Amino acid sequence: MADTATDSRSVAFLGLGTMGFPMAGHLAVRGGHRVTVYNRTAAKAEAWAARFGGAGAATPAATPAEAARDAEVVFLCVGGDDDVRAVAGEAMDAMKPGTIIADHSTVSATVAREMAELARARGLFFLDAPVSGGQAGAENGVLTVMVGGDADAFARAQPLMACYGRSVTHMGPAGAGQLTKMVNQICIAGLLQGLAEGMAFAQKAGLDGHKVVDVIGKGAAQSWQMDNRAKTMLDGKFDFGFAVDWMRKDLGIVLGEARNNGASLPVTALVDQFYAEVQGMGGNRLDTSSLMTRLTR
């Protein structure tokens, strides 16, 4: 956590969605930093300023360039590749040489490398820094941040990311952060499908599913997903933040990268199809544990 008395810095945060809104708040409240925010829907930026303005936050900016102009580090958390290109590109037009832009979006490694090259040509530094931990992790400031890019730039930005990251790790050159996030999503997809099948099996077998989880959760089957999602899956509750639409976007990135590097991902490809079925059932905005719904309908 930053020392608010001696280490207050001027930063910008572009993109105040489910993740970005609380992350920017932690920079202001936990870190004591001067935060200028931008969001394409201006009302969201105004709502952020109303909530966190007392912590020293600046007035919301009208454009990415305006937000980034005087920032030492610019953070970004938007949707997909084209969003990063548009928002980061506009911000970089106004950034001073030596400034860092750290992208917390989950996008392709290709666009991460592309933006890193664009930044380098302008005397800037670009870090691809996707996060894991979901909405709860962002709100509680305990995200896992996996970072690719220049090591010295990472060292400068790491104390800021620690305002909302329990673990902030440099993974290698440009693109390494996004590749690490792809591994994360591959593992989560398989875990959630296995958990959904296990819980559906328990129900069909006439077992007390909650009791089953209490027992097997103390053994080799234990995982974060089991601890946090198994019982809610049994109860038919699927409103925990990270939506099926977002997971399919992420798995699309994963499968595209696998086609490029030759990795075999048969389970991931199958689970992606299962998520497509959930979308077909109208579950686009349900959370990722809703794989259970296609087994119990």
Mean of pLDDT values over 280-293:
97
pLDDT of residue 238: 96
Give residue-wise pLDDT tens across range 199-228: 999 999 999 999 999 999 999 999 999 999
Write down the catalytic residue from 181, 211, 218, 231: 181
Does the annotation mark 181 as catalytic? yes
pLDDT of residue 55: 57
User: Residue 99 in contact with residue 72, Cβ under 8 Å?
Assistant: yes
pLDDT of residue 246: 94
> What pTM value is reported for the model?
0.93
Give residue-wise pLDDT tens across range 252-266: 999 999 999 999 999
Give residue-wise pLDDT tens across range 122-151: 999 999 999 999 889 999 999 999 999 999
Whether residue 170 is predicted with pLDDT greater than 80 in this model: the reply is: yes
pLDDT of residue 297: 86
pLDDT of residue 241: 76
Give residue-wise pLDDT tens across range 26-84: 999 999 999 999 999 999 999 999 999 775 556 799 999 999 999 999 999 999 999 99
Q: In whole numbers, what is the pLDDT of the chain averaged over residues?
A: 95
Whether residue 8 is predicted with pLDDT greater than 70 in this model: the reply is: yes
Percent of the chain with pLDDT over 70: 96
The DSSP-derived string for the chain is ---TTT---EEEEE--STTHHHHHHHHHHTS--EEEEE-SSHHHHHHHHHHHGGGTPPPPPSSHHHHHTT-SEEEE--SSHHHHHHHHHHHHHHPPTT-EEEE-S---HHHHHHHHHHHHHTT-EEEE--EESHHHHHHHT-EEEEEES-HHHHHHHHHHHTTTEEEEEEEESTTHHHHHHHHHHHHHHHHHHHHHHHHHHHHHTT--HHHHHHHHTTTTT--HHHHHHHHHHHTT---SS-BHHHHHHHHHHHHHHHHHHT---HHHHHHHHHHHHHHHTT-TTSBGGGGGHHHH-
User: Residue 39 in contact with residue 62, Cβ under 8 Å?
Assistant: no
pLDDT of residue 56: 55
Domains, the chain, in order of start with CATH, read 10-173 (3.40.50.720), 180-294 (1.10.1040.10)
pLDDT of residue 68: 97
